[in-house]
Amino acid sequence: MIATKAKDFEELLNRLSEAASIYIVGCGDCATVLQTGGEYEVAEMKTKLEEAGKTVTGTVVPDVTCQVLDIKRLLRGDKEAIESADGILVMACGAGVQAVAEIIDDREVFAALDTTFAADKFRGGEFYEWCSLCGECIVDQYGGVCPVTRCPKGQLNGPCGGADKGKCEVDTERDCVWTLIYNRLDKVGDKQEIEDRMAEAKDHEKSTKPHEYVFEARRG
Ligand code: SF4
Ligand code: SF4
C-alpha cells in the first residue's frame, strides 16, 4: 500500500489562504488504513477547517481514490457541492490527488498529505518501506530481503565497512540488511552462493519515469 503522512495543519492553512470554501476528498483504501484520509480523518479535517473559518461544502471518501473512472462517477453525484467550493482538498496519496485533478479541472486541487513510500504493513500503526519500486526486481537473489531499499546505501554487495555487530552504521538501532540477508539465506541453505557472487550494477533505465502500462484488459 501507499504510505502517506498528514501535512502540518498550519502549513496547509497557508496553502488554502485563497480558498474560503473547500470540498474534501478522502480515500477508503490506503489512506484509511494509514489513518490519514479515511472517514474519521476527513470528518476531523472538516471540523478543523470550519474552526479556522472555512466553509466545507461537502466531503466524500471514495473506495479507492486513484481509480479515475470510479471517482468520476462518484464526484458527478456531488456536482453542486464541488461547484460551490473554491478549492478541493485531497486526503489521499499523490496518485489520488492527480486523479481528482484530472476530473475536476476547473478548481484548484490541494494535497493534504505527503506521499512517502510503498508500505508493508504489520499490525495497525506499523508500516515499513521494504520496496522502492525500482523497476527491476532482484530481491529473490537476496533471500527475499531487498538491499536496494532496506540498506540506506543500496549496497548490492555488502555489507559495507560500517556494519558493526550486525547493526547498520546509518542507524545503529537497525539490523544491517546484510545481517537479515545472510540469516535468511542461511536458513534456506543458499548462503554460500551469495558469498561467491559479485552482483552487477542494476539497469537504471528500468526505473525511468513516468512508467505506464496500457493494454487490452481482460476485465474492466
Ligand atoms: S529489487 Fe527491491 S526495490 Fe526493486 S522491485 Fe524488488 S523489492 Fe522493490
Ligand atoms: S551497515 Fe549494512 S544496511 Fe547499513 S549502510 Fe552499511 S551495508 Fe547498508
pLDDT tens for 10-66 read: 999 999 999 999 999 999 999 999 999 999 999 999 999 999 999 999 999 999 999
Written as nine digits, the cell of 105 is 479541472
Question: Mean of the per-residue pLDDT values for the chain?
Answer: 96
Written as nine digits, the cell of 126 is 506499523
What value does the mean pLDDT take over residues 105-129? 96
Residue 87 host element (H or E): strand 87-90
Work out which ligand 1 atom sits closest to the CA atom of 130: 7
Work out which ligand 2 atom sits closest to the CA atom of 154: 8
**pLDDT band for position 195 (50/70/90)?**
confident
Distance between Cα 136 and ligand 1 center (Å): 7
pLDDT digits over 125-164, tens only? 999 999 999 999 999 999 999 999 999 999 999 999 999 9
Q: Is the pLDDT of residue 187 over 80?
A: yes
| Phi, psi dihedral angles at 115 (to 5 degrees) | -95, 125
What value does the mean pLDDT take over residues 195-204? 88
What value does the mean pLDDT take over residues 103-118? 97
Distance CA 171, CA 19 (A): 42
Residue 197 vs residue 54, higher pLDDT? 54
What residue spans in the chain does CATH classification 3.40.50.2300 cover?
2-117
Distance between Cα 175 and ligand 2 center (Å): 8
What is the structure's pLDDT at 142?
95
170 lines ligand 2 (CB under 6 A): yes
Check if the beta carbon of residue 30 is closer than 8 Å to that of residue 97: no
Is the entire prediction scored with pTM above 0.85? yes
What is the structure's pLDDT at 96?
98
Distance between Cα 188 and ligand 1 center (Å): 20
Percentage, residues of the chain above pLDDT 90? 89
Distance between Cα 130 and ligand 1 center (Å): 8
Fold classification of 2-117 is: Rossmann fold (3.40.50)
Smallest CA-to-CA distance from 26 within 7, 12, 45 is with: 45
What value does the mean pLDDT take over residues 110-115? 98
What is the structure's pLDDT at 41?
98
What is the structure's pLDDT at 174?
96
167 lines ligand 2 (CB under 6 A): no
What is the structure's pLDDT at 220?
66
What is the structure's pLDDT at 203?
87
Distance between Cα 135 and ligand 2 center (Å): 22
Work out which ligand 2 atom sits closest to the CA atom of 150: 3
Ligand number nearest CA of 157 is 2
139 lines ligand 1 (CB under 6 A): yes
